[in-house]
Structure 1
Amino acid sequence: MDIRLDPDSPVPPFEQVRLRIIALAADGTLPAGYKLPPVRTLALDLKLAVNTVARAYRELEAAGLVETRGRLGTVITSRAAGTSVQAQQAADSYAATTRALGVPPETALALVRAALGLPG
């Protein structure tokens, strides 16, 4: 995840993190369902206090742009990614079904690409 902070910016670091995640979701870099790094990991990577990153995540969650799923982590919502909720639910259902059937992820993706008429 490409987040760079500007130490000379008047914008607080938590807000820089929040705005960057919003931008990455909006441009499709972080699609709906994308799992964000744990707060501690991102804080370490960005050399920030854990509470700074936690605040960014809390504000994103309050806005409905990320969802925390307990042990499964914090993920980008369809709202943040500009994807319809129905499309996200269909993707989640397909992923669960293929996992239950024991279909390897590469094969599941190949099936989707073929169904959409995409190459390779």
Structure 2
Amino acid sequence: MIVIDPASAVPPFEQLRRQLIDDVSTGTLAPGTRLPTVRRLAEDLGLAPGTVARAYRELESAGIIETRGRNGTFVAPQGDAALREAQRAAASFVDQVRTLRIDPEQALALVHAALRSAPTAP
């Protein structure tokens, strides 16, 4: 069950995105599961349709969900979605580190420091 905390510092689209990733990772949402339409989920959660649409777009670009035109939106069938998203983020970070010509050891130290200081996900 998805719950959005309006008092949270985390934006609603990010809360929704994270919860859907968690549900896919834990198997609560199995591959091939049909998701509610943007309008239906927005109505159910008391969110603007644009908020839900943004979360769906980001999840689709990460390969976690897929849209099949008029047939709807479904959980993507391949692999661990959270791991795939983390791999994409890591590859993007590596590209940026190389562009900035930062030493790999220093880049890893930055990642370790960020992980230690980041708040835990809700």
TM-score range for the pair, normalised by the shorter chain length: 0.5 to 0.7
Aligned to 2:58: 59
Aligned to 2:67: 68
Residue 47 in structure 1 maps to residue 46 in structure 2: yes
Is the CA contact 1:32–1:77 (under 8 Å) kept in the aligned structure 2?
yes
Q: What RMSD, in angstroms, separates the aligned Cα atoms of the two structures?
A: 1.3
Is the CA contact 1:31–1:81 (under 8 Å) kept in the aligned structure 2?
no
Q: Which moved more, 1:37-46 or 1:70-79?
A: 70-79
Is the CA contact 1:32–1:81 (under 8 Å) kept in the aligned structure 2?
no
- TM-score norm. by structure 1 comes to 0.64
Matches within 5 A, 1:1-120: 2-79=1-78
The structure 1 segments of at least 4 consecutive aligned residues displaced by more than 4 Å after TM superposition are none
Query: Does the residue aligned with 1:67 lie in a helix, a strand or coil?
Result: strand
* Identical residues among aligned pairs (%): 56
Query: Does the residue aligned with 2:47 lie in a helix, a strand or coil?
Result: coil
Report how far residue 62 of structure 1 moved: 0.6
Report how far residue 75 of structure 1 moved: 0.4
Alignment-mate amino acid for residue 61 of structure 1: E
- Residues 49-104 of structure 1: CA distance to partner in whole angstroms, max 9, x if unpaired? 0000000000000101000001110000123656xxxxxxxxxxxxxxxxxxxxxx
5+ residue gaps, structure 1, are: 83-120
